[in-house]
Structure 1
């Protein structure tokens, strides 16, 4: 998938800092339904199958399929590989993909028709993971982020510059102005810069679930759930421009500037709540059809943002009187305050249609089709909402899974998913994932092992007018589910 990321997050509008961006709306709206190893290895296609704790985040009617009580626990290991310009970064993370308890209550004298059992569940599924590191680089760029900052500053008194970017550039001698407050940089017209950015992201969205369901005549399964989503996201990034030719192999720039670095720190935490209802119909013995409706998740989020800037000049070579450096070649400045904001976010409504066919007790084929319109995400800010509706579109996700039971104790599984593009226009953020796994059960104990792989590209702009830089991402996940029936 490809996406153009403009690496500037905050705008100063009318003197008020607007912390949230449309990227937040997309980041906290996208979910990956792969809590248990069995669900992940079958592509997350569990909307019509049920009987797996992950299904409660997809179609809560899946709880009514259980015939016995169950406890599951799923540790997970994830590796994210990123690469750009032959530079590779790997980040491992150990997480809990799922932990859940299902209680199945069967009447002593269950009728032949009507309610056969009532089931209740409580637990946790991880629905998003943000952990990764990345490095981006552009060599010999004819433009500089300093040019962008100078353009943004023109006509503004230094006391009124944007405190998190241009003000820091001014305080570290990367910008100066004439009497009309037209800003200039220490670079000369023919100077070129090597540009780099290091990104370190971590975090997750976890969903705590309370669900209940009814089995009606083994023909109709009904369920509903309340989901409480816990959000944690942290991003630390460092953008560096280095004078081209410092290695001595090329003609160096004319400027006394050697390097500057701009660091950003963003942290978002909060919680949200949603409600889901679903049904699974079994019109014939081996066929199951499912439908699930998800309300928006109503988030309340807190964000914290701060920055710093540093510059390094060649000592005793400052021949630009408009850039006095006080006899010191190194300068560093932190934003004078930390921007804190609290805001509400409403994610889009979802609809999931599912079908599964059971080939006796030997095999299963399952398909989920999901519709979600990302343009319907909403903040408590009408300007951002207009940008969301102009940038995002409705999308369609397809998940397919299969299971082959080799004998009563051992099964093999495989899955495929295609996640649609949420963007309007030329940006394409669709991607595919492939998965597989196995399952073993003995008496009341079962063990599932699953693996998933997906690969996608992301296109970045360091600032408007800069070259596009592509980062390749490869995601590997291994999950193990330990379960007990009783």
Structure 2
């Protein structure tokens, strides 16, 4: 059993009422998250919004457009450390909270060995260069917190009871050993076992046969004093009110080692190819807490559901690039990257901690903790291809302006692997996930514009990047596009250069912690500021 399907109510972005009913798989979110890239490379290129397709002679060309290596006349080395600040503002049930984190990393370093021919060589083949680089293409490190008070409409405990209602099993199938919770059972039963052991739901003897049955007679401990109407056999619940909060912490990133070669034909046509070895490391911890504010029940105080997930894996891709200079002041670039083929491993589990008002009612323990078994699962992910075209206009020795258009067919992402093909149910699930990817996402165009002004040894740069909302339909009335603004300064000497830059990015997202009609959703404004410094040397 793939355990993350147990926690779909906690883990996935809930889209629309119709989508909620279909239970969108969390692997659909993975397909997007592990495909999107942020502007990457040296400070120089990031300060210009990430433009790179029509430019060259920069370490960023190794993984961007390898044809840019053909512009090198000297060998080169550079390293780019970065300091990053995230500040996220979430609104949930009318309350706004801010959270974020600060972290340091090295998003880019690399080396180029130039094989350019001397200027006295009159052959049309002008030589080529070989480069190796490391790039952090996406950062997953972030913290988001939301909290809302006075929700009397629903509770995640009601969500758990709804899962149990569909089982129609004796409660003995839920009261399992602690180390067997979630073992070799389906989604509804595993979460019902966790909720049952944690006193969020309990059985009710509906037919007076002395056995606690489940199904429509599950009672949440939020309304333990509830009764059953003898005429309609319907559950009559006491009113309750809860405070709800969640903190979602993620770490890791997607990075790539690239090995590239680029050549120069007659100082007119530049061509290149690179091989990329990409890796994903993603860790997520979601702690969802409910505190009982008002209830006739003097039993339950609060409880926390924690979802833990780790994903690691490696993939491979290749990039082809061309750059053409029809006249000295114009360059036209093109690059094409194949889909990245990943083999991923995930380990996940869900835990529940319940705190009661009177510990003597539960054997003197407070809080009471339970968790599902660890589940490890391997699968394949194929992220979409990407292709971009760019143009740059040069103004003699004073600088240039450049723009890129990138095509990203997110609908082409695919999930697969032998673990989804061992039986008909696994194959059906894989087909369902891939159909959901095609129905959820769209093919997009992303845009980057930037420029550089030169005065003697000094450089001034600015840029802008826009990543289009990848969803077919606007969800929760949110535009999920990503906007990035950047700028920087630098100096360039004959054998040394240094650049300082800043990039600010903002986007929006929505999140629903559990799936119930009328369940509250959190809206988050994501803000990230990165300060970068590149130090490099030609040799």
Residue 393 of structure 2 is matched in structure 1 by: 357
RMSD: 2.1
The 1:392/1:19 distance shift into structure 2, 3 A limit, reads closer
Q: 2:251 pairs with 193, 199, 202, which one? A: 202
Q: Do 2:82 and 2:104's aligned partners in 1 also have CA atoms closer than 8 Å?
A: yes
Q: Structure 2: how far apart are the matches of 1:221 and 1:457?
A: 39
SS at match of 2:472: coil
Q: Structure 2: how far apart are the matches of 1:155 and 1:49?
A: 59
Q: Structure 2: how far apart are the matches of 1:456 and 1:109?
A: 48
Q: 2:103 pairs with 73, 93, 99, which one? A: 93
Q: Structure 1: how far apart are the matches of 2:378 and 2:472?
A: 28
Q: Do 2:257 and 2:276's aligned partners in 1 also have CA atoms closer than 8 Å?
A: yes
TM-score (normalizing by structure 1): 0.91
Residue 248 of structure 1 is matched in structure 2 by: none
Q: Structure 2: how far apart are the matches of 1:408 and 1:303?
A: 52
* 2:48 aligned with 1:46: no
Residue 482 of structure 1 is matched in structure 2 by: 535
Q: 2:370 pairs with 323, 333, 342, which one? A: 333
Deviation at 1:184, TM superposition (A): 2.0
Q: Structure 2: how far apart are the matches of 1:412 and 1:108?
A: 31
Q: Do 1:353 and 1:369's aligned partners in 2 also have CA atoms closer than 8 Å?
A: yes
Deviation at 1:111, TM superposition (A): 4.6
Q: Do 1:112 and 1:217's aligned partners in 2 also have CA atoms closer than 8 Å?
A: no
Residue 278 of structure 1 is matched in structure 2 by: 321
Equivalent positions of 1:366-377 (< 5 A) are 366-377=402-413
Q: Do 1:33 and 1:58's aligned partners in 2 also have CA atoms closer than 8 Å?
A: no
Q: Whose helix proportion is higher, 1 or 2?
A: 2
Q: Gaps spanning 5+ residues in structure 1: where?
A: 11-17, 246-251, 319-323
Q: Structure 2: how far apart are the matches of 1:329 and 1:131?
A: 33
> What does the per-residue CA deviation read over 1:278-304, in whole Å, with 9 as the maximum and x for residues that have no partner?
100111110000111110000001101
Q: 2:135 pairs with 121, 125, 135, which one? A: 125
The 1:6/1:365 distance shift into structure 2, 3 A limit, reads farther
Residue 411 of structure 1 is matched in structure 2 by: 459
The 1:48/1:469 distance shift into structure 2, 3 A limit, reads same
Q: Do 2:86 and 2:528's aligned partners in 1 also have CA atoms closer than 8 Å?
A: yes
Q: Structure 1: how far apart are the matches of 2:459 and 2:365?
A: 69
The 1:387/1:19 distance shift into structure 2, 3 A limit, reads closer
How many equivalent pairs are there? 461
Q: Do 1:110 and 1:116's aligned partners in 2 also have CA atoms closer than 8 Å?
A: no
Q: Do 2:12 and 2:29's aligned partners in 1 also have CA atoms closer than 8 Å?
A: no
Q: 2:88 pairs with 82, 85, 103, which one? A: 82
* 2:222 aligned with 1:187: yes
Q: Structure 1: how far apart are the matches of 2:493 and 2:11?
A: 55
> What does the per-residue CA deviation read over 1:312-341, in whole Å, with 9 as the maximum and x for residues that have no partner?
12117x9xxxxx634555311122x21101
Q: Structure 1: how far apart are the matches of 2:258 and 2:186?
A: 46
Quick check: 214-223 or 448-457, which moved more?
448-457
Residue 291 of structure 2 is matched in structure 1 by: 242
The 1:109/1:70 distance shift into structure 2, 3 A limit, reads closer
Residue 390 of structure 1 is matched in structure 2 by: 439
Q: Gaps spanning 5+ residues in structure 2: where?
A: 1-7, 14-23, 175-184, 206-212, 224-236, 417-429
SS at match of 2:491: strand
The 1:124/1:152 distance shift into structure 2, 3 A limit, reads same
Deviation at 1:453, TM superposition (A): 0.4
Q: 1:462 pairs with 513, 517, 520, which one? A: 513
* 2:116 aligned with 1:114: no
